[in-house]
Structure 1
Amino acid sequence: MLASFAKRSSVAMFLGLTALSPAAVAPSYAQSYAFNNVEIQGAQRIEAATILSYLGVNRGETIAAGALNDGYQRLIGSGLFESVELLPQGNKLVIKVQEHPTVNVVSVEGNRRVKDEAFEPFLKTTPRRVYSPTVAEQDAQTIVEIYQAQGRLAAQVQPKIIRRSNNRVDVVFEVTEGKTVEVERLSFVNNRAFSDRRLRRVLETKQAGLLRAFIRADSYVPERIELDKRVLTDFYLSRGYVDFKVLSATSEFSRERDAFFVTFSVQEGQQFKLGNITTTTDQPEVNADEFAAASQLRTGQIYSPNIIENTIARMERLALQKGLNFIRVEPVVTRNARTRTLDIELVVTRGPRIIVERIDIEGNATTLDKVVRSQFRIAEGDPFNPREIREAAERVRALGFFTTADVQTRQGSAPDRVVVDVDLEEAPTGSLSFGGAYSLENGFGVNISYTQRNFLGRGQFLKLAFGNTSDTSTFALNFAEPRFLGRDVRFGLDASYSESEEASSALFDTKTFIFRPSIEFPISENGRIGLRAFVESNEMLNAESDSSQIIKNEVARGQQTGVGAGLTYSFDSRRTGLNPNAGILFRASADLGGFGTDYEYFKAEALARAQTKVLNDQVTLSATFEGGMVQGLDTGGVSRFTDRFHLGPSKLRGFATNGLGPRDLISTNQDALGGNYYAVARLEAEFPLGIPEEYGITGGLFLDAGALWGLDDTLGGSIDDDSHFRSSIGASIFWRTPIGPLRLNYSRVLEKQTYDIENEFELTISSQF
C-alpha cells in the first residue's frame, strides 16, 4: 500500500514539475510566475485558504519556480492529500488535489491468538477520521509489538484499504501471527554461590516445559530479559553480594529457529557482612544516641540494601516525630576487603529546604485520587523527602490496581518547590469465576464468585460467593475498606449463611449465620491489632436416631443466637522483608461470645510459624505450632458440636476430617464429637527433586503431631476425652500449575487411637507462607 502511495506521489511530482518547466532550455530556477487567478480542483473538506497557505502563493505576486516547487513539497508533506498536481496555465494556476479518504471501518483479520479488544485502545486509525498511510503503518507496528510481547516474534501485519463510495475506505490490518518463540533453555555462567536451578526460580522468564501451551512466561520477550537482569541484581544484593553484576544476557536462536537459548553471564563477587555501626551528626538539636537506638543494624548481619533503607526510614520518621524537619540520614559505607565487612556510618544531617508544592495524578479514569494519595505519607506543603517518594511509588504499585505506575518529580514554581507527577494506567480489578470440585466426603460441587479489588474506584474489596455440594450450600459476602476514615485502619464486614443436610461428616443437619464487622490497625512496624464484634446463629437439627446421645442432647437445645466480641494480634516479619531467606508469623486471637444463648464462652487460639531457606536457598524449612481452647464462662453451660474444635488434614495430616479426638464409641455410628482443646506441631521441608525447574514440581517431607481433647459432658465418664497424642509422617509433591499451586500428600500414621479414621492420600491447594 505504501509502495503504491509513493508511486502516485512521484508521478504527481513529475507532472507538477513538468508543468512548471518552461519551453525554453533555461534552468527551472530561472523561471518565475505571476498568477492572477488560482483554481483549486478536487478539494472537498480542506479549505482553499489552507491549501494556499501551504503553497505560499499570493495573487499577482511573482514567484520563482523553485519556491513554487517548495510549496508543492509542503502540500505533499502536510499529509492531507493522496496526490497533488500544479498546472500553470499562463497567469492562471490550476491546483488538482485528491484528499485522503475518510475511514469507514477499521478491522483486524487473521488474529486468532489475540482478541480485537487488545488492539482497540492503541490504534490511532479510527472510523470517521481522515485516513493516513503513515498512521496506518504505525498502527501495524503497534499490533506487531503486542504480538512480540507474547513471544510471537515472527508476527507480521499488513495494512490494506478497501475503497467505498463518497471517498471512504475500510482499513483492514491483515495479521500473520506466526508461532510462539519459546525459551528452550535458561543457563548461567560464572555463578558459584547459587545453582542454575535456584537462579531460574528468581527470573520472570521461564523455560518451556510440559505446560508450554498454557504458561506464557516461557515465551521469549526481550523486555522481560531486561527485567530479569534487574531481578537477578536485586536477588544477589539482598544476600550481601555488593559487587554483583550481570555482564551480559545473550539470546541465541535454535537451529530450527523456533526457540531461544538465553545465557546470563554474571560476576558474583564476595558476600559481605556488616561491620562497625555508628551514628553521627553535626546538628546540635539531634541526639545521636537516640537515633542510634532506632537502628536495626547489627554487626555480623549479612548486608542488604533493604535493612539499610529500613533503618534510614525509621530514623527519619523519628525526626518527624520530634518536629525536626528536613532531617536526612545518609549512609557512609567503608569497605573492608580483607574481612569482607562493610562499616556503616549513619550521618544525621539537614537536607535542602525543599517543599512539596503539589501532587499531580493522571491516568486514573476509575480509581479516585484519594486512593492514590493515601499511599503518600506526605502532602502538599510538607518537606520533600526523596526516599518517601520512592516508597510511596512502591506502595502505589503494590495496590495491584494499575499496569503501570510511574512517579517522577520536577521543579515547581520556584527552586525550592517540587511537583510530584504520578502517571497511571489502570488494570482490570474485577473477576467473575465459575468452578467445580469433587471430594470423597462431599461429592460434586459448584462454586461461583464475583470479586472486585477496587470497588467503585475507592480501593475497597468486595466478594460475593456461592458454593453448593450434594449436602451443603453456602453464601458469603466480604467487604473491606483499607483506609477507613482516611487512616491506616482496615474496616471489614463479613456475612455468611450455610446449610448442610445429611452431611457425611456429621449425622445431623446444620444452619449457620454469621455477621461480623471488624477493624484492624497497626501498632508497630510488623504488628497489628484487630477488633471485631459478631452475631452468630447456629442450629443443629434432624439428628439420626442412632446418633450419639451427646449429639441428640445438643440438637434438642434448638437454635442458638448470640453476640460476642474479640480481638486478634498479629506479628509478621515478612512485612519488612529484611531477611529474604526467613520470616516469622505469630497470631493470637481471643473471643468472648455466646451472650444471649445457653452457653457463654471464652475462645482463644494462637499460631506461630517460622520459615527459613538453607543450602543456598535450595531447601525450605518451616515449623508451625498451633493451639486453641474454648471454655464456658459459667458452670451450667455446655459446649456444642458447633462450638468445639475439629481437626482434619488441614491441621494434622494423615487423619480424616473429624477423624480424631473424643468419640462416642457406645453409639452405633461412633460419632466424632470434637474437643474443647487442641495443640498441633507441624515440621516440614521442601526441596528439589531433580526434575527440570520449568515443570514446577518439587518434593517435601513432613512430620505432624498433636492432640484434640476435652468435653464438658462425657455421659458420666463413658467417653474418653483425654489428650491422647497422635502423630504422622509423610511425603508431598508440590506442583505449580496454571490453575494454582497443587499439593499431593501421602501420610503414614505413627501414633493413633484404635477408633481414629486415617486419610492416607490428599490433594489440596498448597498454602503459601
Structure 2
Amino acid sequence: MIKRTIILLSLLSTSANCYASVIVKGNKRVDADTILVHGGINVANRNAKLDESQIDIAIKKLYETGLFKKISASNSANDTIINVEENPMIHTLVIEGNRRIKNEEILPELILSERSIYNILKVQKDVETIQRLYQKTSRYAVKVHPKIIELPGNKVNLVYEITEGGRTLIGNIHFVGNSVVSNGKLKDVINSKEDALFRFFSTGPSFDIDKVNYDKELITRFYQSRGYADVEIKTPVVELDSNQNCFDVTFIINEGKQYKFGDISIESEIEAVNAENLKKFAKVRKGSTFDNTEIEDITQKITDYLGDQGFAFVDVEPEMDKTEDTINIKLIIRNAPKYYVNKINIKGNLRTYDKVIRREMKVTEGDAFKASEITAAEQKIKDLDFFETVEVDIKPLERSEDKVDIDVEVKEKSTGSMNFAVGISDLQGAVAKIVYSESNFTGRGQKIRLSATKTKRDTDFELNFTEPYFLDYDLSTGFDADNLFKDKSKERSFTSHTRSFSLRAGYDLTDHLSHALYYKIRKEKIGDLDNNASILLREQQGDNTLSVIGHGFNFNTLDSKVYPTKGLNISLSQDLAGLGGSTAFMRHEFKSSAYVPVYKEDVVLQLTASAGQVNSIRDKKILATERYFLGGDTVRGFKDYGFGPRDKTTGEALGGNAFYSAKAQLSFPIGLPKELDVKGLVFSDFGSLYKLDYKNYAFGTRSSVNDTNRLRASFGTGLIWNSPAGAISVSLANPFKKEHFDKERKFRFSILSEF
C-alpha cells in the first residue's frame, strides 16, 4: 500500500529549509505520519526535496526505533521516496531447556515480550541477559540459541533454546606478591574455594565474579587488620580454560610495610559534645600493631553513643597521619543536629500484622532518636525469622530540622516448614522424626509445632503452641501436649506410657533474664516388669498421676542458640508435686553453661555444671520416671543409666534423688578446610548420682542396693562434623573414676540428617 503525503520536511535540528512531497512505501502497521516523525521530519510546506545528508539522518533515526527490518530512501525528479520493511510482532515468547532458573525469574529481565516488536539487536541483548543470569549461578558454559518461527500477518514466535551446562568451578587460586602471609592462610580468608572432592556438596568452588571481587576486599581488610595499611590488591586475573570447565584466579598483592599505632585524638565540631568524654572509647595501646578494624570499632562506638544522644546522622571521620612506621589517628566528629522520631512506617508486611513488628521496637513516635534502640529493633525483627529481608531506613523530614521518619520495610517469606530427620546412634539405634512447624500462625506471630519421633524402642508425639504476646502484653503463654511410650526394659526392666498436658507463661525481667511459670498434669502407666525386678521398681507398676506446679529463672547471653562461642546460660527451677495426683515431692534444679573463645572463634572452651535434688513430701514414693539418671552424654565413658544406685541382685539402674555433674570441653579446628566444619574435642566429664528414699520401702531394701555419692570422672577426645548429610559425632572416653557396679561405654557415635 502506498500512502502519499505532501509535506514540508524539516529535521529536528533547526533546519528551516522547505521540501517537496515525501512518499512512504511498504508500511503496513505503522502510520506514514508516525514514520516521518520518527525520522525527525516535520510537515510544513511543499517546496524542496531532502538532500543526501538529511536522508541519511532520517534513515538512522528510523533504525533506532527498532520498528523496521530494512529502510531505504531515494530522490526522484520531484519526490523523496522512503521504502520500509517492518519488523514482525512477537506472538508468543517461549523459553526451553531451563531447569535451573524458572521462567518467572528470566522473563521480567528481558527487553522483548509477547506483543512487542521483534528486533534482532534486542534479541542479542536478551541472550546476553539470560547468560548473565546463569553466570550468577556459576554456569558459564550456558548456550542460548534464539529461534524464529514465522507466522501469517507479519508475526513470529520467538523461542530461546537454552543448554544450561554444568557449574563452572574454580580450578586453582594463586597469590602473587605475598611474602608475610602464606597462600594457605589467604585461602582461608577468601570466600572463593578451589574445587576438591570434599566440596562436592558445597557452593564454595563455584566461580562467581562478584564473590571474587569481594575476595579482593576481604584480603585488603585482612592485611589492614595486621598493620599493612598501604596494602594494594590489583583487579583479580581470571582465566577460563579451553574446555570451559574451570577458572584459574590470581590475586596480585603489594603488601607494603607494617605500621604501629601512634597517638589517637578526638575533635568535635558539635558544641554540645565534649571530645574529652569520648576518649574512653579510643583505647588503643600506643606502639601496638596497627589494626584498621580497631579504628572502625572505635568509630562505631562513638557513632552509637552519639546516636543515643539524638545525633542520628553524625559523621565520625578518621584522618591518618603516617610517619616512618607509625600512624597517628585524629577522629573528627562533624557537626550534626539532634533528632526526634516523627513517624514509624511499616511496609511490605502483606501477611504479618503491623503490631507484630511494632511490639519489637522500644522506640515510639515522639521519642528522642536513639540509634541503639533502632539497631536493636532491627535485629529483633530479623530474629523473628518471618521475613526474607528487613531494612530500616532513617529519613529526615524536609520541612523539619530535628525530626526523622523511620521506615521499616520487610519482605515476607514462608514461615511454615515440614522437616524430616533420620539417623542412627549407638544408644537409640535407628531414629526417624517428622516435624511440622509454623512460626507466624495467622500472621500474629504465634508458633505451632507438631512432631512425631520413632526410635527402636520409643515413640513420641508432641503438640506445642505459643502466643508470644498474650493480650498484647509482654507475656508469653502456651500449652504443650505429649504422648510418649518408652521401652526401658533393657536398662530399667520396665516400659512406660505417658500422656501429659501443660500450661506455661513467661516474661522478661531484663534483656537477658526471664522468668517462667508452668503447670503440668501427667498420666503414666508403668508396666511389663519382670517378677524378679527390683522391689523399688515393682511397687510402682500400674497407673500413676502427677500434678506439678513450678517456676524457673533463666539468664542467657549466648551469641548463638545452635553453635555458641561466647556467653552464659544459667537456669534455676523449682517444682512442687502433690496438688492432687499419686505422688508428692519438691524438686530443685540448677544448670549452667559458659562458652569462652580461647582463640578468636576457632578455639572455644565450654564449661558446664548441673545439680538437682528431689525430696519426697508426706512420705510419698517418688516415681522412677521422676528420679535422675546419669551417664551417656552427661558423663561420657559410661552407658546411659551407667552409674548411680543399682540393684545388687538384678543389676537394674534405679535412678537417684540427687545428682551433680560438670564438663570441661575444648573444641578446635584440626587443620581441615573451614567450610568442612569439622572440629576436634578434648574433654573431661565428672559427676555423681545417689540417694534413694529407702524409708518408703520395706526394711532391708537399702542393703540390696549399691548406692554411693562417690565421684565418677572421665576424660577423652572426639570429633564433630556438621556435614551436608547431617551432624556426625564420635567420641572416645576413658572413665578413670568409677565403681565396680558401673556400666561403661567408651566409644560413642551418632548421625542425624534433616531434609
Q: How would you bin the TM-score normalised by the shorter chain?
A: 0.7 to 0.9
The structural deviation recorded for 1:704 is 1.7
Alpha-carbon displacement from aligned partner over 1:535-561 (angstroms, at most 9, x marks no partner)? 2414132232233222222233x2314
Alignment of 1:653 onto 2:636: yes
| Matched pairs, number | 723
SS of 1:574 mapped into structure 2: coil
Whole-Å separation in 1 of the counterparts to 2:471 and 2:184: 47
Alpha-carbon displacement from aligned partner over 1:589-623 (angstroms, at most 9, x marks no partner)? 21324333322423322213232233xx5961413
* Paired position in structure 1 for 2:134: 147
* Paired position in structure 2 for 1:10: none
The structural deviation recorded for 1:174 is 2.3
Question: Partner letter of residue 149 of structure 2?
Answer: I
Is contact 2:220-2:233 (8 Å) kept? no
Whole-Å separation in 1 of the counterparts to 2:657 and 2:335: 59
Normalised to the residue count of structure 1, the TM-score between the two structures is: 0.76
Q: Structure 2 vs 1, CA of residues 114 and 93 (structure 1 numbering), >3 Å: closer, same or farther?
A: closer
Identity of counterpart residues, as a percentage? 23
* Paired position in structure 1 for 2:730: 744
Whole-Å separation in 1 of the counterparts to 2:226 and 2:343: 38
Is contact 1:743-1:766 (8 Å) kept? no
Whole-Å separation in 1 of the counterparts to 2:533 and 2:259: 65
Whole-Å separation in 2 of the counterparts to 1:99 and 1:249: 43
* Paired position in structure 2 for 1:509: 496
The structural deviation recorded for 1:54 is 3.8
The structural deviation recorded for 1:517 is 3.1
* Paired position in structure 2 for 1:568: 553
The structural deviation recorded for 1:177 is 2.9
Question: Partner letter of residue 661 of structure 1?
Answer: G
Whole-Å separation in 1 of the counterparts to 2:323 and 2:501: 62
The structural deviation recorded for 1:583 is 1.9
Alignment of 1:596 onto 2:580: yes
SS of 1:217 mapped into structure 2: coil
* Paired position in structure 1 for 2:89: 101
1:731 to 709, 712, 717: 717
Show structure 1 runs of 5+ residues with no match: 1-14, 23-27
1:292-441 aligned within 5 A: 304=294, 308=298, 312=302, 315=305, 319=309, 351-356=336-341, 358=343, 366=351, 378-379=363-364, 381-383=366-368, 405=390, 407-408=392-393, 412-414=397-399, 416=401, 418=404, 429-441=415-427
Q: Structure 2 vs 1, CA of residues 382 and 199 (structure 1 numbering), >3 Å: closer, same or farther?
A: farther
The structural deviation recorded for 1:221 is 1.2
1:612-627 aligned within 5 A: 612-614=597-599, 617=600, 620-627=603-610
Is contact 2:415-2:439 (8 Å) kept? yes
Alignment of 1:644 onto 2:590: no
Question: Partner letter of residue 421 of structure 2?
Answer: G
SS of 1:437 mapped into structure 2: strand
Question: Partner letter of residue 465 of structure 1?
Answer: S
Alpha-carbon displacement from aligned partner over 1:286-323 (angstroms, at most 9, x marks no partner)? 9998x999x89798999846864785577558757xxx
* Paired position in structure 1 for 2:164: 177
Whole-Å separation in 1 of the counterparts to 2:110 and 2:65: 21
2:28 to 39, 42, 57: 42
Is contact 2:175-2:183 (8 Å) kept? yes
* Paired position in structure 2 for 1:666: 649
Question: Partner letter of residue 655 of structure 2?
Answer: G
* Paired position in structure 2 for 1:498: 484
* Paired position in structure 1 for 2:461: 475
SS of 2:236 mapped into structure 1: strand
1:545-564 aligned within 5 A: 545=530, 546-556=532-542, 558-564=543-549
Question: Partner letter of residue 32 of structure 1?
Answer: Y
2:691 to 699, 710, 717: 710
Is contact 2:73-2:80 (8 Å) kept? no
Q: Structure 2 vs 1, CA of residues 342 and 176 (structure 1 numbering), >3 Å: closer, same or farther?
A: same
Alignment of 1:466 onto 2:449: no
Q: Structure 2 vs 1, CA of residues 725 and 178 (structure 1 numbering), >3 Å: closer, same or farther?
A: same
Whole-Å separation in 2 of the counterparts to 1:638 and 1:276: 70
* Paired position in structure 2 for 1:25: none
Question: Partner letter of residue 596 of structure 1?
Answer: G
Alpha-carbon displacement from aligned partner over 1:481-514 (angstroms, at most 9, x marks no partner)? 6677778766665443322356655421222424
Is contact 1:654-1:758 (8 Å) kept? yes
Is contact 2:20-2:80 (8 Å) kept? no
The structural deviation recorded for 1:216 is 0.9
Moved more, 407-416 or 87-96: 87-96
Moved more, 159-168 or 388-397: 388-397
Question: Partner letter of residue 608 of structure 1?
Answer: S
Whole-Å separation in 1 of the counterparts to 2:32 and 2:509: 70
SS of 1:216 mapped into structure 2: coil
2:208 to 221, 229, 234: 221
2:196 to 187, 209, 216: 209
Whole-Å separation in 1 of the counterparts to 2:655 and 2:256: 55
Whole-Å separation in 1 of the counterparts to 2:220 and 2:515: 38
Alpha-carbon displacement from aligned partner over 1:257-285 (angstroms, at most 9, x marks no partner)? 62434547485976979999999999789
Q: Structure 2 vs 1, CA of residues 280 and 61 (structure 1 numbering), >3 Å: closer, same or farther?
A: closer
Q: Structure 2 vs 1, CA of residues 203 and 440 (structure 1 numbering), >3 Å: closer, same or farther?
A: same
2:527 to 508, 528, 542: 542
Is contact 2:691-2:708 (8 Å) kept? yes
* Paired position in structure 2 for 1:5: none
Is contact 1:188-1:266 (8 Å) kept? no
Whole-Å separation in 1 of the counterparts to 2:270 and 2:632: 61
Whole-Å separation in 2 of the counterparts to 1:722 and 1:266: 68
SS of 1:642 mapped into structure 2: helix
Whole-Å separation in 2 of the counterparts to 1:600 and 1:296: 56
* Paired position in structure 2 for 1:4: none
Whole-Å separation in 1 of the counterparts to 2:129 and 2:465: 40
SS of 1:223 mapped into structure 2: helix
* Paired position in structure 1 for 2:12: none
Show structure 2 runs of 5+ residues with no match: 10-14
* Paired position in structure 2 for 1:678: 659
Is contact 1:240-1:272 (8 Å) kept? no
SS of 1:144 mapped into structure 2: helix
Task: Say what the alpha-carbon RMSD is for the aligned residues.
Answer: 5.2
Question: Partner letter of residue 731 of structure 2?
Answer: N
* Paired position in structure 2 for 1:8: none
Question: Partner letter of residue 611 of structure 2?
Answer: G
